[in-house]
Structure 1
Amino acid sequence: MTACAIEPAAGDGGTARRAGLTITADGAYAVRLAGDGQALYPQRWTLDGPEAYTVPLPAGQPEEPDAQVLPLADGRVLIARRADGRVLFSLLYPTGPATGDLPLGGIEAADVRLLPPSPQGACAYALVGGVHATAIWLVAGGAFGPEHVADVKGRCTGGVWLDRTGRMLALDRQVDDGPVKAVAVDLERGGEVTPLLQIAEDSDDRLLLADPESGLLMLRSDAPGHERLGWGVLGSTLPVRFPECLRPPGVELTPFAVQPGQTLTPEGCAVALRIDGATGSWVGLWRPAERVLHQLAPPEGWLAGAGVWSRDGELRLPWAIDGLGAGVARLAMPEPPPVVRVAPMPAPAAKPVPLGQAPLAGRG
């Protein structure tokens, strides 16, 4: 499973931060805005073959820096472009030397943000901000262009899929000036909302990643007194845990991918984290069962915050270097440190006490 981790960065009031490359839920395709300065264009990656390769998808003119791109499971790329107070959606695909551009329609709104790729693969959704509610729109995969799906009371950010069908969506919701709480939204029941994270009454509880197979949830909350990374299990009554190893000093951690295939064993899931510090960004690997954060140097040119796990535990990290092309580096979860068992010291042999000197205290 991959998740192009999207979360409000600390202190930004909820502005979304997206990794440089967005990967489909099945790990087959990815896309990013490539190029320099004002000469930007969508670049599609194919990741499910023996070697990764890229295809440029330039339109008739360069894309704006605020254009949003999202890969679909069939290899096409959804692009959202702003124009005259609207956001226009199109599907891009290679057609020999040119780029096919299929218009899908638009939405009249200023605050439109694409959600992460749906597990279903053929559909794409967006959040549209409003004064008192946030709208969810189906912007690709519908019958007649963009379709309004549901309205969720409050201001919603984030976006994590909770199942493999694309029905249940988790959003981080703030109603009025209250705390931020992750809620589950049922897209097949008109956007029915149910609480998901309620760690403390007044805490901000945001969901960052979820793995439907194991039920592992990665979250960020200030319930411990200040913001901490924690983990829990979907549907479990056990409390959320905040491992000490996930708070190394002087850096910020953001989980971006969870190993799939660990059915009902969340403690065995490997989690990849982006570590940001004063010297740059590198990779953290962690399992709940081991309670150890492994910090590893990333490949040169890593598109920080992007990556996907294979089911057998191989982490694939896309990289791109001007003049050298692009590729995927592979990392494995380090073996857990051996457990050193220390044999107890033998007790000294008891020295017999003469009967006449034996202690009598406590005898009846």
Structure 2
Amino acid sequence: MTVCAPLGTPAPSDPQSPPGPSAPPGPARSAPPADMRRPAFTVTADGSYAAWLALGRGTDGWFPERWTLDGPEPYAVSLPGSQPEEADSQVLPLTDGRVLIRRRVAERYALSLLYPTGHGTGEVPLGAIECRHLCLLPPAPDGACAYALVLAERHTTLWRVHGGGNGPELLATVPGRCEGGAWLDRAGRLLALDRELEGVTKTVVVDLGRGGETSPLLQITDTSNDRLLLAEPDSGLLLVRSDAPGTDRLGWGVLGSARPVRFPECLLPPGTALTPFAAQPGHGLAPEQCSVAFRVDREGAGSWVGVWSAATKRLRQFPGPVGWLTGAGLWTTGGELKLPFVTPTVPCGLARLRLPPPEEPGGDLAEPLCLEPDDEDDEPSTGPAALAPVPAPRPVPLQQAPCARASG
């Protein structure tokens, strides 16, 4: 059941600009404690804006904050409402400078657009969806639309919650329980979801250009659990996690390629968990050169940054900046990794990681940019390598890939 609230007053014509002298400074805050799980720091597909729930000082609680990332220096704009937000609220930045927020209100989820004004925070209600659970999907490639998944007992519905008609719009119903979400193209047509159906998880593609038609993407074996962790639309590089090799492992493949998924040994460091969070754009003809950034976690040792590409066949590891919003970052086409951080003295910081040549063991974090708001040729293993073909322009399923170990 959908309950749509009336649309509010349009946002100002220039929501991107920082607050002027008359704007209130917003709630004071400090860096979140190191042992507290931080809400997601989400970046638009073009890298222009980011948004997250920042933690205020004392009893101020959580409040939305928008970061501008595409200028000469980053800056943050607070978007506090009349009361603190719940920690489970979600925020999603748009490329026009507004921020979409999803709030739980009793048995429904309310959606609104937030934007800075000279007197505080403006808000445009978008409507609400009555359901048990609603999750915003990663930012769409166009930066203007926003999508969400609504989970039911035996199926999942896909909604456009902004950028369509008047209020939330149901686009597709997918049998099974879906999670994750990755865009496979720059047009925002092909959306990959991890679907659990009959006790097995496989990645499927929802084609928004064909009325929500669903088809398989990852099916390494019939019984394996195959998930898509990250997709880079320019190169077609896919990072996957699968238990097809016998243990849960990270692998990589290329969308539309006839080559199978491979599972490099360097992506299985002992006692360490790897989570990919950003891939370098712009390598349309050379997916092996596409660098991927990982969050590296080891119990008792903390978290740091790992960088891998299929061409280098190794995982290079670097310390993150102090106050790193762990697991957040973005690549530039020039090969620079930008890592957001917050400290008590720097409420909006962006550190730049310049990669050394592959033969050099070290790595440098460049001087951080900050501004306070107030002033592989891996050897494939034995096994069948046939792919299940589908008509173009559908993605080619990475099916029946070799599952034993590969070097690199």
Query: In structure 1, how many angstroms separate the alpha carbons of the residues matched to 2:62 and 2:127?
Result: 22
Which is greater in Rg?
1
CA distance 1:191–1:90, shift in 2 (3 Å): same
User: Is residue 201 from structure 1 mapped to residue 222 from structure 2 by the alignment?
Assistant: yes
Q: Which residue of 1 aligns with 2:141?
A: 119
Q: Which residue of 2 aligns with 1:233?
A: 254
Q: Which residue of 2 aligns with 1:89?
A: 111
Question: TM-score of the superposition, structure 2-length normalised?
Answer: 0.77
Amino acid at match of 1:44: R
Query: In structure 1, how many angstroms separate the alpha carbons of the residues matched to 2:39 and 2:262?
Result: 26
What is the identity percentage for the equivalent residue pairs of Structure 1 and Structure 2? 60
Which moves more between the two structures, 21-30 or 314-323?
A: 314-323
Which moves more between the two structures, 317-326 or 298-307?
A: 317-326
Q: Which residue of 2 aligns with 1:26?
A: 46
Q: Which residue of 2 aligns with 1:221?
A: 242
**What do the CA deviations read for 1:91-128 (whole angstroms, capped 9, x no partner)?**
00001131000000000012100000000110000000
Secondary structure of 1:321's aligned partner: coil
Q: Which residue of 1 aligns with 2:267?
A: 246
User: Is residue 165 from structure 1 mapped to residue 187 from structure 2 by the alignment?
Assistant: yes
Query: In structure 2, how many angstroms separate the alpha carbons of the residues matched to 1:220 and 1:38?
Result: 39
Q: Which residue of 1 aligns with 2:97?
A: 75
User: Is residue 144 from structure 1 mapped to residue 198 from structure 2 by the alignment?
Assistant: no
Contact kept in structure 1, 2:69 and 2:75, CA below 8 Å: yes
In structure 2, runs of 5+ residues without a counterpart are 1-36, 361-408
**What do the CA deviations read for 1:37-75 (whole angstroms, capped 9, x no partner)?**
662100100000111110000011111111110000111
Question: TM-score of the superposition, structure 1-length normalised?
Answer: 0.86
Query: In structure 2, how many angstroms separate the alpha carbons of the residues matched to 1:334 and 1:195?
Result: 39
User: Is residue 309 from structure 1 mapped to residue 331 from structure 2 by the alignment?
Assistant: yes
Secondary structure of 1:325's aligned partner: coil
Q: Which residue of 1 aligns with 2:302?
A: 280
Amino acid at match of 2:61: A
Q: 1:300 aligns with which of 322, 340, 358?
A: 322
Count residues in correspondence. Answer: 321
Contact kept in structure 1, 2:132 and 2:152, CA below 8 Å: no
Q: Which residue of 2 aligns with 1:186?
A: 207
Query: In structure 1, how many angstroms separate the alpha carbons of the residues matched to 2:335 and 2:54?
Result: 29
Query: In structure 1, how many angstroms separate the alpha carbons of the residues matched to 2:206 and 2:337?
Result: 30
Contact kept in structure 1, 2:91 and 2:99, CA below 8 Å: yes
Contact kept in structure 2, 1:128 and 1:136, CA below 8 Å: yes
Amino acid at match of 1:253: L
Amino acid at match of 2:284: T
Give how far 1:321 is off.
1.0
Contact kept in structure 1, 2:39 and 2:87, CA below 8 Å: no
Query: In structure 2, how many angstroms separate the alpha carbons of the residues matched to 1:214 and 1:205?
Result: 21
